[in-house]
């Protein structure tokens, strides 16, 4: 751990933006000792120089093992976090999905968090230096907050915007560290070489509330700077012009929303300290966030356009804040040219990306597919649920994709679903018995290592790109979109006041009404009355709605933790369904036999109580005394 906190001391001296002369000048200065005589006001007095220093939080790199590598807040972004390798995504180390190849993701899922994996998530610049990047960006933000008044050629609005960004980045980095490693100290000062670095951890509840206060400060300064949103509203020139409006920078809408999210985490069972009072505080903040977003012109896209939040546009009118990767090639391309982070290797199985030996791909499990309700709103999560839907004539296990929530088709590739360019325009994912041997369909080509073992591929993050549909397109990470804000409000309001009460002063929506708005957008009916009588019965439908609407956008791993649902998820048996082609009959109306089959033992999850948080490197953890490290697993 000492190594991590030393990064706090060194951060301002290590971050570089090699493409900018201003940045080179600034970092040359920062590498000089104070006795060399260059006053710091010559560095921070010019707005361009100051931005050159602070903007390292967005694009800063270090020279690592012979290459320039990212060390910045992109490691706080779910898709960037996932898209570093073919070994795992945040969802594939839960019950939600399996990786096509057997790699570190399966080891993580089975409870074997090796020192190798930990190193890749801490300060390995070739992989995912989340911890190092966050601590460095906290330091940069604290320097910026201390020095911003030295700028001589900036307006008050420009200074306030920089303050807002610094508070926001400090909060985001603390929040990211908390989600992965648990409670942290809240660092608001620039730690020097003679200062105490072995700092005690706060409680989980305190950590979240300190983070919420920083997001609140960010909102206050964004409001002063006129940056509640960065682009003009709908109908005004430059609306949604990502580059012209520097929309990679955060804004007041997302600061307000993530203040509410931090309070939601504080109120959740893993972290709650004050019972219902924590939920009431989170519900009020969530309503404020929803109102700010709506007042600033955001709206839910039409159901058929929901995919634009991820694919085909830099940013949408549903987005509070988005990170765009720009235009990428059909087979994954690179997230950032300098670091060669191909997202295809993670999300796209080799049979789609024509990579027989390297691509792995995210393959949803049958357990996850069961979360998509019937089009009449009946749950299918359990055998009892499916039996009830079958008795109502609304579900048939041998025609299991018929009459389902439309988001199933939007998110998942299943046998005979839409597949542009493939045989008959349909995905062929089945086996066939012929002459005593098993034949595999084209999407189960056994010469590819990254083939689904669940019978499903992921569509949501790649849409229809494949070897048979080689279309380049914009790819973006919807860091915070309006649907999430509705769902956050619904969850907090339900826990504080129940499903039907408008308990937040001034609110015009109940928890139930907020969820039904999300469902109506895709043509789903209101939540059935059987699940809306109490907060307990409605709770599971809110969780399910959140899982489906925000599927594979980086929320599920952390939602399992905060609700203390990880034990149940990681104690479950994971299933797949690879259909077998048979003769059409009344029993098999589509000519395919579906049998739920457990995944192999090496792909099953394992529960350990210490799995809520990642461990630190063993050698570093032993150096800490006040900062109590997480247990190793």
- pLDDT computed for residue 367 by the predictor: 98
- Per-residue pLDDT tens digits for 160-191: 999 999 999 999 999 999 999 999 999 999 98
> Does residue 196 carry a pLDDT above 80?
no
- Segment 72-96 mean pLDDT: 92
- Per-residue pLDDT tens digits for 300-337: 999 999 999 999 999 999 999 999 988 888 886 544 44
Left (φ > 0), alpha (ψ -120 to 50) or beta: where does 89 sit? beta
Those residues whose C-beta lies under 8 Å from the C-beta of residue 152, and which sit 6 or more positions away, are: 45, 46
- Per-residue pLDDT tens digits for 426-474: 999 999 998 889 999 999 999 999 999 999 999 999 888 899 999 888 9
Residue 319 contacts residue 478 (beta carbons within 8 Å): yes
Token digits of residue 332: 């994954």
Q: How much is the mean pLDDT over the chain? A: 91
Rounded to the nearest 10 degrees, the angle between the axes of helix 156-181 and helix 252-267 is 30
SS3 content of the chain, % helix, strand, coil (to 5): 45, 10, 45
- pLDDT computed for residue 2 by the predictor: 40
Phi, psi of 449, rounded to the nearest 5 degrees: -70, -40
- pLDDT computed for residue 326 by the predictor: 87
DSSP secondary structure, 559-574, as one string: HHHHTT-HHHHHTSPP
| Confidence bin at 479 (pLDDT 50/70/90) | very high
- Segment 263-279 mean pLDDT: 98
Distance in angstroms (rounded) separating the CA atoms of residues 114 and 165? 36
Residue 151 contacts residue 45 (beta carbons within 8 Å): yes
- pLDDT computed for residue 24 by the predictor: 38
- pLDDT computed for residue 467 by the predictor: 93
- Per-residue pLDDT tens digits for 199-235: 899 999 999 999 999 999 999 999 999 999 999 999 9
Distance in angstroms (rounded) separating the CA atoms of residues 334 and 345? 10
- What percentage of the chain exceeds 90 in pLDDT? 80
Residue 109 contacts residue 605 (beta carbons within 8 Å): yes
- pLDDT computed for residue 617 by the predictor: 87
- pLDDT computed for residue 507 by the predictor: 98
Q: 99 forms bridges with which residues in the sheet? A: 362
Distance in angstroms (rounded) separating the CA atoms of residues 281 and 28? 46
- Per-residue pLDDT tens digits for 1-45: 444 433 433 333 333 333 333 333 334 333 333 334 456 777 799
Compute CA 379 distance to the chain's CA centroid, rounded to the nearest angstrom. Answer: 25
């Amino acid at each position: 751990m000492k190594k991590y906190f030393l990064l706090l001391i060194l951060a301002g001296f290590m971050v570089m933006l090699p493409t900018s002369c201003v940045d080179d000048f600034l970092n040359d200065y920062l590498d000089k000792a104070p006795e060399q005589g260059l006053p710091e006001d010559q560095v921070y007095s010019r707005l361009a120089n100051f931005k050159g220093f602070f903007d390292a939080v967005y694009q800063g790199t270090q020279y690592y093992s012979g290459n320039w590598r990212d060390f910045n807040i992109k490691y706080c972004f779910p898709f960037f976090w996932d898209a570093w390798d073919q070994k795992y995504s945040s969802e594939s180390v839960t019950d939600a999905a399996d990786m096509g190849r057997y790699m570190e993701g399966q080891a993580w899922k089975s409870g074997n968090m090796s020192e190798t994996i930990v190193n890749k998530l801490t300060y390995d610049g070739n992989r995912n230096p989340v911890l190092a990047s966050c601590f460095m960006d906290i330091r940069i933000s604290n320097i910026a907050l201390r020095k911003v008044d030295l700028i001589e050629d900036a307006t008050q609005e420009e200074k306030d915007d920089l303050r807002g960004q610094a508070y926001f980045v400090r909060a985001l980095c603390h929040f990211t560290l908390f989600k992965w490693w648990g409670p942290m100290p809240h660092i608001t000062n620039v730690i020097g070489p003679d200062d105490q670095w072995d700092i005690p951890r706060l409680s989980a509840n305190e950590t979240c509330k300190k983070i919420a206060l920083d997001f609140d400060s960010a909102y206050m300064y964004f409001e002063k700077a006129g940056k509640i949103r960065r682009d003009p509203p709908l109908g005004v020139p430059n609306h949604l012009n990502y580059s012209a409006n520097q929309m990679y920078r955060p804004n007041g809408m997302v600061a307000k929303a993530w203040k509410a999210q931090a309070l939601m985490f504080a109120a959740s069972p893993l972290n709650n300290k004050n019972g219902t009072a924590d939920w009431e505080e989170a519900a009020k903040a969530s309503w404020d966030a929803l109102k700010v977003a709506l007042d600033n012109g955001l709206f839910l896209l039409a159901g058929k356009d929901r995919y634009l939040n991820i694919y085909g546009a830099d940013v949408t009118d549903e987005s509070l804040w988005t990170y765009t990767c720009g235009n990428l090639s059909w087979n994954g391309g690179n997230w950032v040219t300098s670091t060669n982070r191909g997202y295809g290797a993670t999300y796209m199985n080799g049979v789609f990306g024509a990579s027989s030996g390297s691509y792995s791909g995210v393959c949803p499990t049958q357990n996850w597919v069961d979360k998509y309700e019937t089009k009449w709103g009946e749950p299918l999560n359990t055998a009892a649920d499916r039996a009830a839907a079958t008795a109502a004539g609304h579900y048939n296990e041998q025609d299991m994709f018929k009459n389902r929530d439309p988001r199933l088709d939007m998110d998942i590739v299943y046998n005979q679903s839409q597949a542009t360019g493939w045989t008959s325009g349909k995905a062929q994912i089945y086996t066939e018995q012929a002459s005593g041997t098993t034949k595999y369909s084209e999407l189960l080509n056994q010469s590819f290592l990254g083939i689904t073992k669940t019978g499903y591929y992921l569509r949501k993050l790649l849409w229809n790109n494949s070897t048979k549909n080689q279309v380049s397109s914009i790819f973006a990470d919807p860091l915070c979109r309006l649907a999430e804000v509705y769902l956050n409000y619904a969850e907090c309001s339900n826990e504080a006041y129940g499903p039907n009460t408008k308990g937040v002063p001034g609110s015009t929506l109940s928890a139930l009404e907020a969820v039904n708005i999300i469902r109506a957008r895709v043509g789903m009916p209101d939540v059935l009355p059987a699940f809306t009588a109490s907060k307990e019965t409605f709770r599971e439908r809110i969780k399910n709605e959140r899982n489906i609407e925000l599927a594979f956008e980086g929320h599920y791993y952390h939602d399992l933790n905060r609700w203390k649902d990880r034990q149940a998820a990681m104690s479950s048996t994971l299933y797949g369904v690879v259909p077998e082609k048979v003769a059409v009959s009344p029993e098999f109306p589509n000519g395919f036999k579906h049998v739920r089959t457990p995944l192999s033992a090496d792909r099953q999850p394992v529960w350990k109580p210490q799995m809520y948080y990642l461990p630190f490197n063993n050698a570093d953890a032993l150096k800490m005394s006040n900062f109590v490290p997480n247990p190793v697993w």
